[in-house]
Amino acid sequence: MIEALEILTTASLWAAVLRIATPLIFGALGALICERSGVLNLGIEGIMTLGAMIAWLAAYQGADLWVALAAAAAAGACFGLLHAVLTVPLGLSQHVSGLGITLFASSFTYYVYRLVVVVGDAPPTIEPFRPLAIPGLSDLPFVGPVVFAQTAPTYAALAAAGLCAWILARTPLGLAVRMAGENPHAVEAQGLNPLSIRTGAVVVGSALMALGGAFLTTAAFNSFFPQMVQGRGWICIALVVFAGWRPGKALLGALLFAFFDAYQLRLQHVVEGLPYQLFLMAPYLLSIVALIAVARRGRAPEALMAPYRRGER
């Protein structure tokens, strides 16, 4: 029991929390932006897979890692645009289109990967992001190795969460996005075009999702596997719901999930006699419990999944 608590005081646990949370933060923010504008984007799992592959591929072809991330974001944006065209101006079912995007993006990813990479014994590697050593700060006891020895994309994810929260809550652009999700007629009445706002939000959100996938191949690992996203996209969709569509709580939810995950991996070696499945299940179970408590008053955007048709009353 003491040992189980001692783990909580180790810096490596908390460092792992930030690492595990990074793709979830990107993915959840992306899904959140889409949904706040009124569009559910179930293409996330496929878009994350695509982002993982494109970023890896760009780096493999010799691009700088930041260029690789930009390429992943651009690829994600393209698939986001496809989803947006289908669901916003054409007003098709967002569920069907989203799942279609996931299937298409996953298969397309695999296809492109196979065209470029010749079959070998193991997938080829790239040189990934190294943990940044920030002079002075990285040497701080405890806080140093946890917060100031992460890879650059992790800082980018945290910054993106702050930026996203600020834009949505405090800027005219954020107001327009939220309004498109709550009452697109009001957007129209303001002389803005709800269709272009929604399209823009889905494109930007999808780019963020792709960055979440890109983290897996450019920082967490150095090769691409077609199945490596492993359901992280679906977790992000759930995080958005449990976060009550608020960026701050989505960040908190991602960190909480990552904490349970990092903790269970360590707890497995301390607590004996329990089946490992119980530990693997814990992050999902506990996150649901915790977030229900936090997000009881969460309310979905009023016009979520309702296509907007001009002139319709």
Partner 1 sequence: MPITPSRRQLLAGAATLLATPAILRVRRAHAADPVKVAGVHASPVENAWNSRIHSAMQAAAADGLITYEFSEGVSATDYPRAMREYAEAGAQLVWGESYAVERDARAVATDYPETAFLMGSSGGPQGDNFGVFGTRNHEAAYLAGMLAAKMSQTGTFGSVGGYPIPEVNMLINAFRAGVSEVNPDAKFLNGFIGAWFDPAKAKEAALAQIDAGADILFGERIGTADAAKEAGIKAVGSLIDYTPRYPDTVFANAIWNYRPTIDAIVKDIAEGAATGRDYTEYSFMKYGGNELVFVESMVPADAIPAMQEKQAAIQAGAFDVPIDESEPA
Residue 16 interacts with partner 1 (CB under 8 A)?
yes
CA 9 to chain centre: 28
Tally Cβ neighbours within 10 Å of residue 266: 19
Q: Which is nearer to partner 1, 20 or 177 (CB)?
A: 20
| Closest CB 72 distance from partner 1, rounded Å | 16
Instruction: Choose which of 91, 226, 248, 298 interacts with partner 1 (CB under 8 A).
Output: 226
DSSP per residue, 3-59: HHHHGGG-HHHHHHHHHHHHHHHHHHHHHHHHHHTT---TTHHHHHHHHHHHHHHHH
Near partner 1 by CB under 8 A: residue from 1, 2, 115, 122: 122
| Residue that the structure tokens 């360590």 belong to | 266
Is 1 a residue that touches partner 1 (CB under 8 A)?
no
Q: Which of 192, 265, 294, 300 binds partner 1 (CB under 8 A)?
A: 265
Give 209's DSSP letter: H
Query: Considering CB under 8 A, how many residues would be counted as binding partner 1?
Result: 37
CB of 54 to partner 1, least distance (A): 17
Distance between CA atoms of residues 44 and 203, nearest Å:
12
**82-121 binders of partner 1 (CB under 8 A):** 110, 114, 117, 119-121
Q: Which two tokens stand for residue 233?
A: 């996209």
Task: Select from 216, 255, 256, 303 the one that contacts partner 1 (CB under 8 A).
Answer: 216
Q: Which of residues 35 and 261 has its CB atom nearest to partner 1 in the complex?
A: 261
Identify the residue among 66, 112, 223, 306 touching partner 1 (CB under 8 A): 223
Segment contacting partner 1 (CB under 8 A): 77-85, 152-160, 188-196, 221-229?
221-229
Does the protein bind partner 1 through residue 268 (CB under 8 A)? yes
Q: Is residue 230 a contact point for partner 1 (CB under 8 A)?
A: yes
For partner 1, the binding residues in 31-90 under the rule CB under 8 A are none
In the complex, the smallest distance separating the C-beta of residue 186 from partner 1, rounded to whole angstroms, is: 43
CA dist., res. 205 & res. 212, Å (int): 11
280 in contact with partner 1 (CB under 8 A):
yes
Q: How many residues does the chain have?
A: 313
Sign of CA dihedral 227, 259, 291, 306: negative
The Cα-based distances of 312 to 106, 122, 236 in angstroms read 36, 55, 33
- Evaluate whether 211 touches 153 at the Cβ level (below 8 Å): yes
Planar angle of CA 138, 24, 27, nearest 5 degrees: 125
Cβ-contact 111, 55 below 8 angstroms: no
Taking CB under 8 A as the rule, which mask of x and - marks residues 156-195 in contact with partner 1? Answer: ----------------------------------------
Rg, C-alpha atoms of the chain: 20
Applying CB under 8 A, does 246 fall inside the site for partner 1?
A: no
The residue ranges that bind partner 1 (CB under 8 A) are 7, 10, 12-13, 16, 19-20, 110, 114, 117, 119-123, 125, 216, 220-223, 225-228, 230, 261-262, 265-266, 268-270, 272, 276-277, 280
